A and B are shown apart, each in its own frame.
Chain A
Amino acid sequence: MEKKDIIQSFKDSLFTGLIALALFGPIVGLRTVSKGEGLFITPQWGVVFLLVGLCILGRFLININSARRKEFKIFSTLSSKFSSITEDKAKHFAITGILFAVVFPFLPFTDRYFMDVAIMILTYIMLGWGLNIVVGLAGLLDLGYVAFYAVGAYSYALIATTFGWSFWICLPLAGVFAAFFGILLGFPVLRLRGDYLAIVTLGFGEIIRIILINWYEVTNGPDGITGIPRPSFFGLPFKRSPDEGETSFHLFFNLEYSTMHRIIFLYYLILVLALITNYFTLKIRKLPVGRAWEALREDEIACKSLGVNPTNTKLTAFAIGAMFGGFAGSFFATRQAFISPESFTFIESAIIVAIVVLGGMGSQTGVVLASIFLIGITEMFRDLEQFRMIAFGGAMVLIMVFKPKGILANRKPTILMHGDKK
C-alpha cells in the first residue's frame, strides 16, 4: 500500500469523525435529566469522544483493508456460509421445515410463549408469500400491503360481529373484500412502475388506515372493534363451560380443559392457510397467468408485443396478492379478538416488504427464512428494549451486505427437462 493511500484513508476517516461528531454531539452529548421542577442538560462529552474515536478508527481500518483489496476474513467466511444455501438444498429444507412445523406444538420445550411467537412468524410468512405474488412474481413494488391485511381483518370483524356468521363463511368473504380493494388500488396505478408505484401504494396504505380511524360509525374509530368471535373447531367452541345446547372441544374429545387447545388450533389454522398460499403460488407460476406476471416483471414492452394484456395481468396480481393478505387479516382478527387501526401502520408494510426482499425476491423458501430471522430476532432481543429496533436494522444491513440479492436469490425455473435435477 502506498503512502498516498494511507493519507487518503486518514482524511476520509477524519471526515467520518466529523459526521459522527455532528450526530453524537447533540444526541449523546447533551443528556436531559429531570430534576424537580424541570429538565436540565448534563453534558457527557467523554462518551461522545469515545464514540467519535471508535468511528474514526473503524473507518480507518475499513479503508486500509479495502485499499489492500482484501475483505475481512470473517466477512468472507460468513458470506460463503450463506451462499451455500441454494435452492437445491432449499427443497430438503422445505420438507423438513413443514414436518417440523407439524410436530412443533407437541415438542417438550414448546410452551405458550413459543406458540405465540410461532403463530406470529407464520402470519408473517403468509403475508410474505401473499406479497411475493405482487412484488416477487409480478415485480410491482407495493409498500401499502398492510392495507389489505387491514381490510381483511375489518371485513372479518364487522361481518362476524354484525351477522354472527362462522369463521369459515367470513374468511372467504374477507378475502373477496380484500381482493376487491386490490383491484381498486390496481386501476389508478396501472401505468406506474418502480418508485412512482411504490409511492402511490404507500399512500393507499395510509388512506385505508386514516379511513379506519375516522369512519367512526362503521369502524368504531381508534377504539377498534372488540368481541370478535373466536374460531371454533368446526362448530365446537373452545370454552371451559359451553352454553346450553353446545358441546365444547374438550368435552367432545374427552380431554382436560386447557387454553392451549385453542392456541394449538390457531397454530394449525395459520399453518394450513400459509401452506395453501404457498401451494397456490407454486401452482399458478406454471399457468399462463403466472408466467405472464413474471414476464411483466422482466419486460413490459416485450409483453405487450407478444399479446400479453398488461391491464388484466397487473389487476389479477394485485387482486390475488390482496386476497391472501385479507385471509391473513381475518386470521389476525379472530386470534386477537380485538382490532384497531394501531395494528395496521406503515411499519407493518415495511416489515412485510423487508421479508420479501431479504428472502430474495420471488423465493418462497427465502420468505420463510427471512420471517424467522426478522421476527425471531425482534423477539429474541426483547430484553434489549429500545435497542431492539437497532438490532432489527443491523440484521437487515448484515443480510444486504452479505447477500445483496436476498437470502435465496435464484429463481427456480418452472419447466425442467426430464431427468434434469437443476
Chain B
Amino acid sequence: MLKITNVETFYGKIQALRGVDLDVNDGEIVSLIGSNGAGKSTLLMTISGVNKARRGNIVFNGKNIENKDPHKIVDMGICQVPEGRRIFSRLTVEENLRLGAHANEKGKHFENDIKEVYDLFPVLSDRKTQRGGTLSGGEQQMLAIGRALMSKPKVLLLDEPSLGIAPKLVNQIFVSIKNINKEKNVTIFLVEQNAKKALELADRAYVLVNGKVTIKGPGQELLKNKDIQAAYLEGGAKN
C-alpha cells in the first residue's frame, strides 16, 4: 500500500534520512521506534509532503507521491497527526474538527463523520464549544487524531501520540488507535519513543537509528529482541 524506497531527506546540508526502506501493507499497524533525532518525525513529514525527499521513492497505491504537495497527499488518503498535536488553540473543538474535513468539506458526510469521531472520543462531544487550547494534553491528542480522521484517510500517520500525556490517558489513546485500525479499517503507521507500547500494538515494526532502518520484524518478536530490550525497553519507557 505504502512503499518507501531509499529515501534521503536533508535539512539544508544536514542529512536526516540516509536511505530508508520501509513498507506498510493495507490494514496493518506498523510502528517505527527510535531515539531522539533518529529521523522518525522527518520520515513522517517526508511521507506527508511537508518535507521533500532529495532522493528515493514513496509509492502509495501504485502512484509516486514524493514530489506532491501536502494537500494533494491528504486528498489521496494519507493524513498525519503531527508531533506535539498542533491543535488550533484559539478555535473551538468543533471548528478544529471541521478543519480536518477541509479536504472534503462538502457537508454531505460531515454530520456523520463528526458523529463517528464523537463516538470514538465522547469527551470531545462534551467540549465541542470549548477552545482547543483549554483541553488537557490527552484530550488535545484525541482531538488531533479525530481531526485527522475527519479527512477520511486510508493511512493515518501518528507522530508520538504518547508525548507529554498522563499514563492513564496513554493507554486509552492506544486502545482507540487499535479500534480505529480494526473497526474503521484505517491503516496505521505509528512513530513512537514509548517503544514497549508501540511494539505491543504493532503487527510489524521497524527500528530507526541515525536515519537508517537497522532492525525490522513482527512487533512481538522485536519485544523479545535482546538489543532492542537493552537500547529501548529497559530503563527506557516503563509503561
Binding partners A and B: yes
> Would you give the shortest CB distance from B224 to chain A, in whole angstroms?
34
Q: Are B128 and A302 in contact, CB atoms less than 8 angstroms apart?
A: no
Is B89 touching A298 in the complex (CB atoms < 8 A)? yes
A189 at interface, CB cutoff 8 A: no
In the bound assembly, the distance between CA atoms of A298 and B133 in angstroms comes to 11
Q: Are the C-beta atoms of A301 and B86 separated by less than 8 Å?
A: yes
Which of A295, A413, A417, A420 interacts with B99 by CB under 8 Å? Answer: A295
Q: Please tell me if B48 contacts chain A, counting CB pairs below 8 Å.
A: yes
Q: Which residues of B contact A308 (CB under 8 A)?
A: 71, 99, 102
A291 close to B99 (CB less than 8 A): yes
- Residue A414, interface by CB 8 Å: yes
* A301, B159: Cα distance in complex, Å: 13
Chain A residues closer than 8 Å to B80, beta-carbon distance = 305
- Chain B, residues 83-101, CB within 8 Å of chain A (1/0): the string is 0001111111011001110
0/1 interface trace, chain A 404-418, chain B, CB 8 Å (1 if under):
000000010111110
A315 to chain B, nearest CB (A): 14
Docked Cα-Cα span, A307 to B99, in Å, equals: 9
Once the chains bind, are B103 and A307 in contact (CB under 8 Å)? Answer: yes
Question: A298-B88, A299-B88, A416-B129 given as contacts; is B98 within 8 A of A306 (CB)?
Answer: no
| Cα of A288 to Cα of B71 in the assembled complex, Å | 15
Contact A305 B102 (CB under 8 A): no
Cβ of B50 within 8 Å of any chain A Cβ, yes or no, is yes
**B129 lies within 8 A of A302 (CB):** no
CB distance A294 to B88 under 8 Å? yes
- Chain B residues with CB under 8 A of A288: 98, 102, 105
Residue of B nearest to A285 (CB): B95
From B70, B92, B95, B131, give the contact of A305 (CB < 8 A).
B70
Complex contact A413–B95 (CB within 8 A): yes
Q: Is the CB of A309 within 8 A of B91?
A: no
Q: How distant is the Cα of A305 from the Cα of B86 in the complex, in angstroms?
A: 10
**Contact A305–B82 (Cβ < 8 Å):** yes
A413/B129 in contact, CB under 8 A? yes
Q: Which residues on B sit within 8 Å (CB–CB) of A191?
A: none
Q: How many residues of A contact B (CB 8 A)?
A: 24
CA distance A3 to B94 in the complex (A): 56
Q: List residues of chain B with CB within 8 A of the CB of A291.
A: 91, 95, 98-99, 102
**A415:B151 contact, CB within 8 angstroms:** no
Cα A292 to Cα B71 in complex, Å, equals 13
For the complex formed, measure the closest distance between the CB of A202 and the CB atoms of chain B, giving whole angstroms.
26
Instruction: Decide: B91 and A298 in contact? CB cutoff 8 A.
Output: yes
Residue of A nearest to B151 (CB): A307
List, in ascending order, chain A residues with CB within 8 A of B98's CB: 288, 291, 415
Interface of A is mostly: loop
Q: Which residues of B contact A81 (CB under 8 A)?
A: none
- The verdict on A304 contacting chain B, using a C-beta distance below 8 Å, is yes
B129–A420 touching, CB < 8 Å: yes
Asked if A422 CB lies within 8 Å of chain B CBs, one says yes
Contact across chains for B102 and A306 when beta carbons are under 8 A apart = yes
A367 CB to nearest chain B CB (Å): 18
Contacts between the two chains (Cβ within 8 Å), count: 90
Interface flag for B227 (CB, 8 Å)? no
In the complex, are the beta carbons of A301 and B82 less than 8 A apart?
Answer: yes
CA distance A302 to B81 in the complex (A): 8
| Beta-carbon contact of B100 and A306 below 8 Å | yes
- Indicate if the CB atoms of B88 and A295 lie closer than 8 Å: yes
Residues of B within 8 A of A414 (CB): 92, 95
User: Per-position contact with A for B123-140: 1 when CB-CB < 8 Å, else 0?
Assistant: 000001101000000000
Which residue of A is nearest B80, CB measured? A305
CB distance from B78 to the nearest CB of A (A): 10
Complex: how many Å from CA A414 to CA B82? 25
Q: Residue B50 contacts which of A298, A301, A413 (CB distance < 8 angstroms)? A: A301
A109 to chain B, nearest CB (A): 42
Q: How far is the CB of B37 from chain A (nearest CB, A)?
A: 19
Q: Mark A303-317, 1 if CB is under 8 A from B, else 0.
A: 111111100000000
| B130-154 with Cβ < 8 A to chain A | 131, 147-148, 151
Asked if B69 CB lies within 8 Å of chain A CBs, one says: yes
**A298 nearest CB neighbor, chain B only:** B88
Q: Say how far B163's CB is from chain A's closest CB, in angstroms.
A: 15
Contacts of A303 in B (CB 8 A): 99
Q: Which residues of A contact B74 (CB under 8 A)?
A: 305-307
Nearest residue in B to A296 (C-beta to C-beta)?
Answer: B88
Report Cα–Cα, A302/B147, bound state, in Å. 10
B147's partner among A294, A306, A420 (CB-CB below 8 A) is A306
B186: CB under 8 A from chain A? no
Q: How far is the CA of A306 from the CA of B50 in the complex (A)?
A: 11
Q: Which A residues touch B91, using CB under 8 A? A: 291, 294-295, 298, 413
- Docked CA distance A422–B129 (Å): 9
Q: Within 8 Å of chain A (Cβ to Cβ): is B202?
A: no
Contact of A299 with B86 at beta-carbon distance under 8 Å, contacts A306-B147, A306-B151 already known = yes
Asked whether any CB of chain A lies closer than 8 Å to the CB of B207, the reply is no
Ranked 3 nearest A-B pairs via Cβ: A307-B74, A307-B103, A302-B86
* Residues in B lying within 8 Å of A, measured CB to CB: 48-50, 69-71, 73-75, 79-82, 86-92, 94-95, 98-100, 102-103, 105, 128-129, 131, 147-148, 151
- Pick 9 A–B contacts, CB within 8 A, sort by A: A291-B91, A291-B95, A294-B88, A298-B91, A301-B50, A304-B70, A305-B70, A305-B82, A307-B73
Contacts A295-B91, A299-B86 known; 6 new A-B pairs at CB < 8 A:
A288-B105, A301-B50, A306-B148, A307-B71, A308-B71, A414-B92
A interface residue numbers (CB < 8 A to B)? 288, 291-292, 294-295, 298-299, 301-309, 411, 413-417, 420, 422
